[in-house]
Amino acid sequence: MLSISRSVEIQFNDSRVRVERIMADIRSEEDGNTVLLIGGVHGNEPLGVLAMDKVLADLENSGNKINGRLCAVVGNMEATRIIKRYLYKDLNRLWTRENIDSLHYNQLDLRHTEYRELKELYDKLQELIGDLRGELFVVDLHTTSGPTIPFMVTNKMEKCRNYTSKFPIPSVSGLTGFLDGTLLSYVNDLGYVGLAYEAGQHKSEQSLTRFESFIWLSLHHAGILTGLTSEFVAFHEAALTEPQASSGRSFRIISRYRIQEGEDFRMQEGFANFQSIKQGQVLAQNQNGPIYSPYDGYIFMPLYQKMGEDGFFIIREDD
C-alpha cells in the first residue's frame, strides 16, 4: 500500500518551511466557533500553506487567544511535496456521495494516493464536526494559473452569504451546478459555511500577502479571534481591496467549458478573471479552430496550465 509523507518542505523565494499534515489544532476551554483552514488541496498551490504557517507563528507571538477552535491542515501532501496539481486524481473532485459511501464501506481503493489523502482529510473533518461547540467555517485556500483579483467561491446559503459579505472582495456562486465532488460542495451540503478563496497567481508574492490578510480576516469574522484592533482589521481589508472590483459584488456562473479527453485546448492569451467578454468573442482554440463565447458576461478562471479539465467559466453579476 502506498504511504503518504508525514511532513513536506515548501520553498518560495527566501521562505522555506517544513510542515506536517495537521499544522495546528488550537482549542480554547470556552465554547466557540470552529475554523478549518486548508491549503494545498492542489499541490501546485503551496502559498496557502506558507501563509498559514506565517499567520500561526504571528498568532503565537502576538499573545492573542483563540475563542473556539482553529485547525490548519495541508490538503494533498504528496502533490504538495512535488509541487504538482495532483498525482492521479484531482483531490478537489473526489468529494462525491459515491466516494464517501465507498469510504464508509471500506470499498475505496486506498492504494491510490488521492483516495488516501481524501480519507485523512475526511477523518479530520468528521472529528471536528463531532466536537463542534458552535458554527463551523471551512476555508479552502487556492491560487490560479492566470492573473486575478482576489475573490471567493461559495453558495447562496444564507449563512454562507452572511459570512462572505463581510469581506471587501467579490464572491461567485453556482459552481456546484457545474462541478461535482468539490470540497466546498461537500461542506455546504452538510449545512456548514464553506468557501474557497483565490488569492492570485500561483507564484506571485502578492498572492502570499493576500492569503495572510484573508486568513486574519477569516478568523476575525468567524468570531474566534476577537482581540484584533480596528486598525489591524482595516489594514488587512485594504490589502484585499482592488479598484477593479467593487466591494461586495456577487456573481453567478452561467456557463462552463469542459475540456474533452484528447482535446488540444489552448486558452487565448491575455484574459484575466472578471474581464468583460462579448457573445461571439474568441476565448480559446482547439484542433477544430476558434472557441467562441455564447454569452455576454465576464470570463472566470481561464485555464493557463497543462492540468485541468475546466477551460473557463462565464459569469454574470447577480441581480
Q: Is residue 169 domain-shared with residue 282, that is, in the same domain? A: no
Same domain, 204 and 290: no
Residue 274 included in any domain: yes
Q: How confident is the model at residue 87 (pLDDT cuts 50, 70, 90)?
A: very high
The pLDDT, as a whole number, for residue 4 is 59
- Of 240, 266, 292, the residue that ends a domain is 240
- Mean pLDDT across 63-80: 94
> pLDDT at position 58, please?
95
Percent of the chain surpassing pLDDT 70: 96
| Residues 28 and 172 reside in one and the same domain | yes
pLDDT value at residue 2: 47
Query: How remote is the C-alpha of 44 from its chain's centroid?
Result: 13
> Does 1 fall in a domain?
no
Q: Are residues 185 and 312 in the same domain?
A: no
Whether residue 245 is contained in a domain is answered as no
Q: Are residues 233 and 270 in the same domain?
A: no
**Mean pLDDT for all residues in the chain:** 91
Q: How many CB atoms lie within 10 A of CB 124?
A: 17
Identify the band that residue 90 occupies on the pLDDT scale cut at 50, 70 and 90.
very high
pLDDT at 178: 78
* Pair (288, 161) in one structural domain: no
With bands split at pLDDT 50, 70 and 90, how would you rate the model's confidence at 213? very high
Q: Does 195 share its domain with 256?
A: no
What are the cell numbers at 301? 478562471
Domain co-membership, 90 together with 169: yes
Residue 319 binned pLDDT confidence (cut-offs 50, 70, 90): low
Segment 129-141 mean pLDDT: 97
Question: How many CB atoms are located within 10 Å of the residue 223 CB?
Answer: 15
Among the candidates 240, 266, 281, a domain finishes at: 240
Is the same domain home to 218 and 116?
A: yes
Looking at residue 25, which CATH number applies to its domain? Answer: 3.40.630.10
- In tens, the pLDDT along 16-30 reads 889 999 999 999 999
Residues 197 and 66 in one domain: yes
Residues 109 and 257 grouped into a single domain: no
pLDDT at residue 248, rounded to an integer: 57
Q: Do residues 253 and 315 touch, judged by C-beta distance below 8 A? A: yes
175 pLDDT tier (thresholds 50, 70, 90):
confident
pLDDT tens digits for range 246-305: 555 788 899 999 999 999 999 999 998 889 999 999 999 999 999 999 999 999 889 988
Q: What is the model's pLDDT at position 226?
A: 87
pLDDT at residue number 40: 96
Question: What CA–CA distances, in Å, run from 299 to 43, 62, 146, 182, 276?
Answer: 24, 41, 11, 21, 7
pTM for the complete prediction? Answer: 0.88
At residue 1, the pLDDT reads: 37
pLDDT value, residue 292: 97
Q: What is the domain range of residue 286?
A: 251-317
Compute CA distances 195 → 38, 87, 221, whole Å.
Answer: 11, 24, 13
Residue 3: pLDDT above 70?
A: no
CA distances from 115 to 28, 78, 119, 250 (A): 32, 12, 6, 34
Rounded to whole angstroms, how far apart are CA atoms 30 and 293?
A: 53
Which residues does 58 contact at the CB level (< 8 Å), separation at least 6?
A: none
**In this structure, which amino acid lies at residue 170?**
P
